[in-house]
């Protein structure tokens, strides 16, 4: 048999003609790395969305429906450019949502945080 080179660990190995990796571990590592690289931007966006959700949840527990300055959210690392969707409440108010929790900014940069089940 002809020696082959594993694309993951670069070690020489023997095996079937169509075998590409020296072990299952090397095969898994290689494919996991490819997946991570192909979906890098999605993972980064999800990280920001998750962080925004946690910040909104934590501040909602403290302030409930009270208005708070937007800079308090930003001081916690909130990035208002990342959200999942917009929600139009039956009352006509429009909320920027991060999954089930959202916020509405008023003209004076005050933010009202709401949970979806409380909006509709």
103 lies in a domain? yes
Q: Domains in the chain: how many in total?
A: 1
pLDDT tens for 56-80 read: 999 999 998 799 999 999 999 999 9
Nearest to 103 by CA among 116, 120, 117: 116
Query: Which phi and psi angles does 69 have, rounded to 5°?
Result: -65, 140
- pTM, entire model: 0.73
pLDDT tens for 10-65 read: 999 999 989 999 999 999 999 999 998 999 999 999 999 999 999 999 999 999 87
Q: Measure the N-to-C terminal CA separation of the chain; round to a whole number of Å.
A: 69
Distance CA 31, CA 42 (A): 17
Q: Which domain holds residue 87?
A: 50-119
60 lies in a domain? yes
Q: Distance of CA 12 to CAs 4, 18, 26, 28, 32, Å?
A: 5, 15, 12, 18, 21
């Amino acid at each position: 048999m002809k020696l082959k080179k594993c694309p993951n660990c670069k070690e020489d190995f023997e095996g079937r003609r169509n075998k590409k990796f020296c072990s299952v571990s090397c095969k898994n590592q290689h494919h996991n790395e490819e997946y991570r690289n192909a979906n890098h931007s999605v993972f980064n966006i999800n990280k920001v969305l998750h962080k925004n959700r946690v910040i909104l949840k934590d501040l909602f527990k403290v302030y409930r429906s009270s208005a708070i300055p937007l800079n308090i959210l930003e001081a916690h690392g909130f990035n208002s450019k990342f959200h999942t969707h917009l929600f139009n409440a039956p009352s006509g108010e429009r909320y920027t949502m991060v999954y089930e929790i959202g916020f509405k900014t008023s003209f004076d940069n005050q933010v009202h945080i709401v949970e979806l089940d409380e909006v509709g």
